[in-house]
Structure 1
Amino acid sequence: MSKPTLTESDLTVIAEGTPALDPFPTHPWSREKLLAAVLDLHLKAKTKADRDAFQQALGAIQVLDALIRLYVKTNDE
């Protein structure tokens, strides 16, 4: 049985369906733009709510990174 794979479109749908990522650019999928926006929030965070939003978004990115490692084909494969 072959391992399922995810595409950039799949990652976009997953990111768009993640409430912690609602305020951030998720379409089209660009991990770099998403991470830059989340890190920008971290740098500009003034309130506990901002810091909490940063932590939640960072956690969501970590989950997406795990999905990428497991289910997105690279040129090496």
Structure 2
Amino acid sequence: MQKTALISLVFGVISLFLSLYGIFFGIIGFVLALHTLRKAENRERTGKGMAIGGLATSVIGAGYQIVAILILVLTA
């Protein structure tokens, strides 16, 4: 369970810094974080903090990329 939480956190951080591809990494990190959080509710709480961090960074990274693309499209 800690592996998927760590991977979601890594994908969330990557989504903050990559342009255009950050959306895809953000979506993957979001899905992995939700999967980890659902599994953590049923079992012990290992990896729950990393999953929350992955969820937050994925949402921020993907949202930032979507806003950046919208600005580029609307100003072109």
Q: TM-score, normalised by structure 2?
A: 0.47
Is the helix fraction higher in 1 or 2? 2
**Which structure ranks higher in relative contact order (CA pairs < 8 Å, sequence separation ≥ 6)?**
2
Q: TM-score, normalised by structure 1?
A: 0.47
